[in-house]
Structure 1
Amino acid sequence: MNNSEMFIQALESGDMKLLRKVPKTDLHNHSTSGCSREYVKKNTGIDIPLLKKN
C-alpha cells in the first residue's frame, strides 16, 4: 500500500495509529486546522467527523 492509499484508509477508518505512520501527515493534514468544520459543512454539505483520540 502506498502512502496515499494508507492516508485515505486511515482517514476513512478513523485509525490514528495508521495515520501517524504516513510520512508528513503531521505537517500536511491541515483539514480543520485551517478552517472550521462548520464552514466546510455549510459550503460543501460534507460533515467532517471529529477524530477519536487514541
Structure 2
Amino acid sequence: MLPIEYVFKNFPKLVIKDSAVASIAYGAQLKRPGIYAYSGHFRKGDIVALFTKR
C-alpha cells in the first residue's frame, strides 16, 4: 500500500494556503498570494499536483 502522494511524485508540486482552498474549489484561479510553497519547474498551463498544508 502506497500513499496517494506517490502517484504525483513526478509532477511539479504546489502547496496552497488553507484560505485559498474554497475559492479554488469553486473555480477561482490560483494566484501567487494563495501559494504557500512549490517545488519543481512549471509554466502556465502545465499540470501540477496541488496539496494543502494540512
Q: Normalising by the residue count of structure 1, what TM-score does the alignment of the two structures yield?
A: 0.28
Q: Which structure has greater helix proportion?
A: 1
TM-score by length of 2: 0.28
Of Structure 1 and Structure 2, the greater strand share is in 2
